[in-house]
Amino acid sequence: MRFYTRQHTYYCGIDLHTRMMFICILDERGDIVLQRNTFAKPKSFLTVIEPFKDGLVVAAECMFTWYWLADLCEREGIPFVLGHALYMKAIHGGKTKNDRIDAHKIAVLLRGGMFPLAHVYPKQKRSTRDLLRRRTHFMRKRAELLAHVQNTSWQYRLEPIGRRLANRKGHETVPILFDDTFVRSSVEADLELVGYYDGVIKRLEWQLTKQAWIDDRPNYDLLRSIPGVGKVLALILLYEIDDIRRFGSVQQFCSYCRLIRPPKTSAGKPAGLPSHKKIGNAHLKWAISEAALLLLRESKDVKRYVERLRQKHNKGKALGILSHRLGRALYYILLHTPPQGVLRRKDLPEDDLSEFIGPDAELGV
């Protein structure tokens, strides 16, 4: 856990919502100099903080509407810090809870050096990362449709569909397996949506890869060189990690990727089950775990290593150790790569989707 400890003249805590925001400003002695509920708009925010703009720092809890506030503070030259939502339990522990109290507690935590920090993702790559996460959402919806077709065949005790679902060319022969007209229509609707998702996902993958070549092609190609990491996994690792140097140590990186089990002790003894397992980046956890499974499938040496771990522990523990080792290796690979220049646009790939028609595009990895 990292805290914001810099000293300022004024400390602004904001309880941010979609339409409204409650602003509380403290001076360096901790006295309240302003409390006001206003509209969550740039003009309203700048009007409220204008008398305290010099020496002001702004803090808000991490929720889905913080983008515009961070960009506004950056444009106006005001320091902005983002609070980790799961670590900020102090604002939820009182007997009474409302916007005024929450904003004041945020300002108090900020002034006292106890404000838990979350990463403010750079504006330049934020939309690309969000589009990549949207692509993952579409891929999971596609998987749900294919699972429904498979479950329907089991429901009616039909012959196994086999690999015809994995190959798009085999989708034409799947509906004829069902005798009932309405069941066949349901399956045809699922497969039609799968085909539409395939087209959307391929266009997004082409667009994202083109942008990755602009932002950081050396690290993208470096990630692609890792056995088990394909186009999509390289994109997820590249944009979810952002700058590897923002992590002070490999332990912090592995903790952020949810690759370690947090201990919970008291007086040197175990105290209950480990908690806060979900603090960290779920997308990185999935990507590294997926890469570990693909690495296990491709490398004989890794298979022997995991088999030794399985005999000592169990299969789940062995795969967890492999994911942890892969995460540590990933950290040092990126950390010791010298920064490179930005790719020129004339070096970008042509507007052609043929590169994305292949097993990587179908499997989503």
The CA-atom distances, in angstroms, between 246 and each of 25, 144, 326, 334 are: 29, 36, 19, 12
Owner of token pair 């720092």:
57
- Domains and their CATH numbers in the chain: 3-118 (3.30.420.10)
Asked whether 239 and 132 are in contact (CB, 8 A), the reply is yes
Ordered per-residue pLDDT tens for the chain, 365 residues: 789 999 999 999 999 999 999 999 999 999 999 999 999 999 999 999 999 999 999 999 998 899 999 999 999 999 999 999 888 876 677 788 899 999 999 999 999 999 999 999 999 999 999 999 999 999 999 999 999 999 998 888 887 787 677 777 778 888 888 888 899 999 999 999 999 999 999 999 999 999 999 999 999 999 999 888 999 999 999 999 999 999 999 999 999 999 988 777 787 787 766 666 678 899 999 999 999 999 999 889 999 999 999 999 999 999 999 999 999 999 999 998 765 544 444 444 544 444 443 434 333 44
- Residues 6 or more apart from 38 whose CB is under 8 A from it? 20, 21, 22, 23, 44, 45, 48
Phi and psi for 231 in degrees, rounded to 5?
-60, -50
Q: DSSP label at 18?
A: S
- Residues 6 or more apart from 21 whose CB is under 8 A from it? 14, 15, 37, 38, 39, 40, 45
The CA-atom distances, in angstroms, between 357 and each of 199, 238, 308, 315, 350 are: 10, 22, 38, 34, 15
How far apart CA 16 and CA 13 sit, in angstroms, is: 9
Tokens of 49: 């903080």
**Predicted TM-score (pTM) of this structure:** 0.84
How far apart CA 281 and CA 291 sit, in angstroms, is: 16
How far apart CA 255 and CA 253 sit, in angstroms, is: 5
Half-sphere exposure of 153 (CA within 13 A, CB side): 19
